[in-house]
């Protein structure tokens, strides 16, 4: 009986305490909101409605009434930067840094935002100097990533490598793919200087960092070919199939040229037609079609194009098929086929060849690093075009 009595007493007491606590929180919230200017809430409303210009005007009014509001200055600076008004964003963050009473954490935050302002404005030297001052603390990792972006823009590959390795040591996900490409860039510079030994050393490091890096394999074959060792070059380029067969179009012409120089053209054609059959690709078909026609005649090239159209119908394959049929046709059919080929060629002329899978940037050339988003290996090495309906 006593236990039941205490339970009956505890329930209303708990309810009363909860009611009093909620009243206190509500009173505190109302008191805090009463101290905020109406412009603050107008600014928030404009932000929610994506009206950045009006939001900025409202927040500037609040900042004039309460210049000590640190977070509001950060919000203003970010809004200015998003609008491209980097000079105003820089002034906001520099004013924050000029305050003697700014806490260390907020100072680091202001430095990081100022570095972003400089980077957006293209002031790379000032951005680098700002980010390098953030060696420790909450914004250290973000600063190192920003530095990596700067060094990639400047194509300073040794600094890019050192920064990427530093980022990994800070606990970030592996940057082995990026590091391998940095070494590939150094290898290409060495090739331009006609220093094959330096190029090979960089490529060995690239493959050690990322054994699946197709670019390093292709460049190693290029070094072998430049040194006159075509057999080694062929063996190297053929390894692309095991690494990633999608990149075979990048070595198809290289392989065929090497086989021709070795007087083994038939072997090269067999290799390419095998690739085309196993990995249907417009780019592979283009290379194989040309060399099959040269070595084995138009009928063999026609058969190859027809087989590919049955396997993977597309406009580029249709163009090759029409080309083969036109060459072997007589008038008036030849004129009709020529007209059809001309129309298809005009349709495919302006089609984008490559599309970044990250940002959608389109280009007619293949890039290992996207010019749009700066991502590495974001382009699939194949042409993107409409598929012909069956």
Q: What is the pLDDT of residues 206-237, one digit of tens each?
A: 999 999 999 999 999 999 999 999 999 999 99
pLDDT score for 102: 76
Contact 355, 378 (CB under 8 A): no
pLDDT score for 257: 94
What is the distance between the terminal CA atoms of the chain, rounded to a whole angstrom?
Answer: 84
pLDDT score for 90: 87
Q: Where are the alpha helices (DSSP H) in the chain?
A: 2-34, 38-48, 52-65, 70-82, 86-97, 104-121, 124-132, 140-153, 157-169, 176-192, 196-209, 214-226, 230-238, 240-244, 249-261, 265-278, 282-296, 298-311, 315-328, 333-349
Residue 117 has pLDDT above 80, yes or no: yes
pLDDT score for 387: 43
Residue 6 has pLDDT above 90, yes or no: no
Portion of the chain with pLDDT greater than 70, in percent: 76
pLDDT grade, residue 52 (50/70/90)?
low
Q: What is the pLDDT of residues 281-336, one digit of tens each?
A: 778 888 888 898 888 887 888 788 778 777 777 666 677 777 777 776 777 777 77
236 assigned binding-site residue: no
| Per-residue three-class SS string for 10-48 | HHHHHHHHHHHHHHHHHHHHHHHHHCCCHHHHHHHHHHH
Contact 353, 366 (CB under 8 A): yes
Question: What is the topology classification, in CATH, of domain 68-169?
Answer: 1.25.40
pLDDT score for 32: 41
The single-letter DSSP state of residue 51 is -
Q: What is the pLDDT of residues 143-155, one digit of tens each?
A: 999 999 999 999 9
The single-letter DSSP state of residue 246 is G
**Of the candidates 224, 214, 160, 213, the residue with the CA atom closest to the CA atom of residue 191:** 224
Contact 136, 158 (CB under 8 A): no
CATH superfamily of 174-247: Tetratricopeptide repeat domain (1.25.40.10)
184 assigned binding-site residue: no
User: Rounded mean pLDDT of 181-188?
Assistant: 96
User: Rounded mean pLDDT of 246-250?
Assistant: 91
Give the lowest-confidence range in 1-15, 179-193, 206-220, 224-238. Answer: 1-15
373 assigned binding-site residue: yes
Beta 362-363 vs 354-355: how paired, if at all?
Answer: antiparallel
What angle is formed at CA 220 by the lines to CA 218 and CA 224, rounded to 5 degrees? 115
Tokens read off for 259: 């086989």
């Amino acid at each position: 009986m006593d236990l039941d009595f205490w339970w009956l007493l505890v329930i209303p007491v708990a309810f009363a305490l909860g009611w009093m606590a909620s009243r206190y929180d509500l009173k505190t919230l109302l008191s805090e909101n009463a101290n905020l200017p109406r412009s603050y809430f107008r600014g928030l409303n404009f932000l929610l409605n994506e009206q950045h210009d009006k939001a900025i005007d409202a927040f500037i009014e609040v900042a004039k009434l309460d210049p000590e509001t640190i977070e509001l200055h950060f919000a203003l600076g970010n809004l200015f930067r998003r609008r491209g008004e980097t000079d105003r964003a820089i002034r906001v963050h520099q004013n924050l840094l000029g305050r003697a009473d700014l806490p260390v954490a907020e100072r680091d935050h202001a430095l990081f935002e100022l570095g972003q302002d400089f980077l957006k404005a293209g002031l790379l030297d000032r951005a680098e100097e700002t980010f390098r001052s953030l060696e420790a603390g909450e914004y250290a990792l973000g600063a190192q990533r920003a530095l990596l972006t700067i060094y990639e823009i400047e194509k300073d590959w040794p600094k890019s490598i050192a920064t990427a390795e530093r980022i990994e040591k800070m606990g970030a996900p592996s940057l082995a793919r990026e590091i391998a490409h940095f070494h590939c860039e150094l290898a290409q510079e060495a090739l331009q200087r006609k220093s094959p030994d330096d190029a090979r050393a960089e490529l060995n490091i690239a493959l050690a960092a990322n054994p699946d890096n197709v670019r390093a394999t292709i460049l190693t074959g290029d070094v072998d070919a430049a040194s006159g060792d075509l057999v080694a070059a062929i063996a190297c380029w053929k390894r692309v199939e095991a690494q990633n067969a999608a990149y075979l179009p990048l070595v198809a012409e290289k392989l065929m040229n090497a086989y021709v120089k070795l007087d083994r053209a038939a072997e090269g054609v067999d290799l390419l037609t095998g690739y085309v059959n196993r990995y249907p690709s417009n780019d592979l078909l283009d290379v194989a079609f040309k060399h099959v026609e040269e070595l084995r005649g138009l009928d063999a090239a026609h058969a190859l194009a027809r087989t590919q159209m049955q396997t993977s119908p597309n406009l580029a394959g249709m163009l090759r098929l029409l080309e083969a049929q036109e060459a072997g046709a007589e008038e008036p059919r030849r004129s009709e086929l020529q007209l059809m080929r001309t129309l298809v060629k005009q349709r495919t002329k302006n089609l984008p060849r490559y599309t970044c899978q990250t940002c959608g940037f389109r280009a007619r050339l293949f890039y290992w690093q996207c010019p749009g988003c700066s991502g590495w290996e974001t382009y699939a090495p194949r042409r993107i075009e409409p598929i012909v309906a069956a």
